Amino acid sequence: MQSEEFDMTYEELHAEMVAAMKAKDKVRLGVTRLVLGELKNAASRGGAHEITEEETTAQIKRTLKQTNETLEMSEKAGNNEERTQNLREQVAVLESLLPAQVSGDELDALIEQVIAEIGAESKKDMGRVMGALTKATNGNFDKPAAAQMVGARLA
Residue 86: the pLDDT is 94
pLDDT in tens, 3-59: 344 678 889 999 999 999 999 999 999 999 999 999 998 888 877 678 888 889 889
Domains of the chain: 10-97 (1.10.1510.10), 104-153 (1.10.10.410)
pLDDT in tens, 94-106: 989 988 888 888 8
Q: Is the pTM of this model over 0.75?
A: no
Cα–Cα distance for residue pair 53/28, rounded to 1 Å: 19
Q: How far is CA 34 from CA 41, 49, 59, 103, in A?
A: 11, 20, 10, 28
